[in-house]
C-alpha cells in the first residue's frame, strides 16, 4: 500500500435508490384515512412528505434502483456473484399478488404464487446470469442492512464471491395505513454493491440484536417503544466497541428515517451532538422500510458532506424486533 492510500477491505462500493415520483403530504394522507395520529403530531415529529408508488410494484422499484447502480458503476452484469434481495414486509418477499380482495392485503390465488421469487426475477431482468440469489427478510426495516452484513460475511467466507448486489424494496399494500408507531412510511428501493478490496465505505463493524420475545407487534406498541431506546443504545455502543471507536469518532450518523424526535432522544442517550445526524430526508423522503440508510448514504455523499476517511454510522430498527448497526469508513 502506497503512502496516502487507504486500506482496502470489504465495503459498499456503489449505491443507488429509487423512490416513486408521486408524493403525498401528511394532510393528504390524513384526509385519506391513512394515518393513525394527527398530522400536527407527525409534523412535530419531523415528517412532511411520503413517496407513494402508483402502478410500480416493489420489484419494479428494486429493478429501478439496481439498474441505476449497475449503470453508474459501469459494472458488467456478469461480475455480480451474488444477489441478496432484502424485504421488510412479508409481502415483499413475494412477487406481489395485488389487487387483493376486499379487506385483504395479499391474495394468493394459486399455491404456485408462493414460489414466485423477486430475487430470481431480478437476476433475470438485470441479466445477472452468473449470480446466485437469496432472499433476506423477516427483519422489517433492518433487512437491507442485514443483507449488506451478510454480503460482507459471504465475501469473507467464500473465495469466488467478490461482488454482491444487495437490493431492498418495499411498497405498502394499497389502502394500508402509512403510519407505524408514529412514523410515516414511503415506498422505495435501495441498492448497494458490496465488494471485496474496495477502499470505499469500508465496513468496520456490523452488529445486530434480535428480540424475538417481541415478535408479535400488533398489541405491544408500548413495549416496542420502551425496548427501542435502551437496546438501540446498547447495540450502537457494542458496534462502536467492535470497531475500536467511540461516538466521538463518528463524523455522520445516517439514520433510518423514523421520527426526528426519537433520534433526538437516542442522540441524547449516546451523548452525540445533533449536528452529526443527517436528518434532511426524514421530512422529504419519510421512512422507506429498509432503504433509508442507503438513501441517506447516497444523498450525504452526493451533497459532499461525507469526506474520505470519515467514519459513518448506519443504524436501523425493524419489527421482529431487530436492531442493526453498521460502521463504515468512507
The CB-of-232 to other proteins minimum distance in angstroms stands at 9
244: left (phi over 0), alpha (psi -120 to 50) or beta: left
Binding mask 28-67 for other proteins (x = CB under 8 A): ---------x---x--xx----------------------
The CB-of-177 to other proteins minimum distance in angstroms stands at 16
Longest distance between any two alpha carbons in the chain, whole Å: 65
Contact range with other proteins by CB under 8 A, out of 10-18, 63-71, 172-180, 229-237: 229-237
The CA distance from 148 to 293, in Å, is: 11
Question: CB count, 10 Å around CB of 307?
Answer: 11
225 binds other proteins (CB under 8 A): yes
Q: Is the link from the previous residue into 229 a cis peptide, with omega within 30 of 0?
A: no
Binding residues with other proteins: total (CB under 8 A): 25
The CA distance from 166 to 181, in Å, is: 27
The CB-of-147 to other proteins minimum distance in angstroms stands at 24
The CB-of-5 to other proteins minimum distance in angstroms stands at 40
The CA distance from 68 to 311, in Å, is: 26
The CA distance from 180 to 35, in Å, is: 9
Query: Which residues ranging from 132 to 191 are in contact with other proteins (CB under 8 A)?
Result: 182
Q: Is the link from the previous residue into 99 a cis peptide, with omega within 30 of 0?
A: yes
Note the residue count of the chain. Answer: 330
The CB-of-324 to other proteins minimum distance in angstroms stands at 16
Candidate list 134, 265, 283, 305; residue touching other proteins; CB under 8 A: 265
The CB-of-268 to other proteins minimum distance in angstroms stands at 3
Phi and psi of 116, rounded to 5°?
Answer: -105, 110
Contact range with other proteins by CB under 8 A, out of 89-97, 118-126, 138-146, 263-271: 263-271
The residue ranges that bind other proteins (CB under 8 A) are 37, 41, 44-45, 182, 211, 213, 221-223, 225-231, 233-234, 261-262, 264-265, 268-269
Amino acid at each position: 500500500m502506497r503512502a496516502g492510500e487507504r486500506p482496502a477491505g470489504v465495503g459498499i462500493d456503489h449505491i443507488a435508490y429509487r423512490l416513486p415520483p408521486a408524493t403525498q403530504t401528511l394532510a393528504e394522507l390524513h384526509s385519506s384515512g391513512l394515518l393513525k395520529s394527527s398530522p400536527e403530531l407527525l409534523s412535530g415529529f419531523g415528517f412532511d412528505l411520503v413517496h407513494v408508488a402508483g402502478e410500480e410494484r416493489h420489484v419494479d422499484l428494486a429493478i429501478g434502483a439496481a439498474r441505476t447502480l449497475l449503470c453508474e458503476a459501469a459494472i458488467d452484469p456478469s461480475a455480480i456473484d451474488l444477489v441478496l434481495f432484502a424485504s421488510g414486509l412479508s409481502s415483499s418477499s413475494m412477487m406481489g399478488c395485488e389487487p387483493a380482495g376486499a379487506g385483504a392485503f395479499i391474495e394468493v390465488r394459486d399455491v404456485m404464487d408462493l414460489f414466485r421469487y423477486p430475487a430470481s426475477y431480478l437476476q433475470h431482468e438485470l441479466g445477472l446470469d452468473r449470480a446466485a440469489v437469496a432472499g433476506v427478510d423477516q427483519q422489517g426495516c433492518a433487512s437491507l442492512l442485514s443483507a449488506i452484513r451478510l454480503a460482507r460475511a459471504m465475501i469473507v467466507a467464500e473465495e469466488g464471491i467478490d461482488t454482491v448486489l444487495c437490493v431492498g424494496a418495499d411498497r405498502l399494500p394499497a389502502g394500508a395505513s402509512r403510519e407505524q408507531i408514529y412514523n410515516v412510511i414511503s415506498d422505495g428501493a435501495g441498492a448497494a454493491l458490496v465488494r471485496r478490496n474496495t477502499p470505499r465505505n469500508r465496513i468496520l463493524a456490523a452488529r445486530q440484536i434480535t428480540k424475538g420475545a417481541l415478535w408479535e407487534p400488533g398489541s405491544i406498541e408500548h413495549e416496542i417503544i420502551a425496548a427501542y431506546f435502551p437496546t438501540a443504545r446498547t447495540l450502537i455502543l457494542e458496534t462502536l466497541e467492535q470497531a475500536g471507536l467511540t461516538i466521538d469518532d463518528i463524523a455522520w450518523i445516517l439514520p433510518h428515517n423514523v421520527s426526528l424526535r426519537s433520534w433526538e432522544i437516542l442522540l441524547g442517550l449516546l451523548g452525540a451532538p445533533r449536528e452529526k445526524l443527517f436528518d434532511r430526508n426524514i421530512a422529504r423522503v419519510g421512512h422507506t422500510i429498509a432503504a433509508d440508510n442507503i438513501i441517506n448514504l447516497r444523498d450525504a455523499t452526493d451533497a459532499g458532506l461525507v469526506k474520505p476517511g470519515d467514519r459513518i454510522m448506519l443504524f436501523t430498527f425493524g419489527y421482529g424486533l431487530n436492531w442493526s448497526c453498521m460502521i463504515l469508513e468512507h
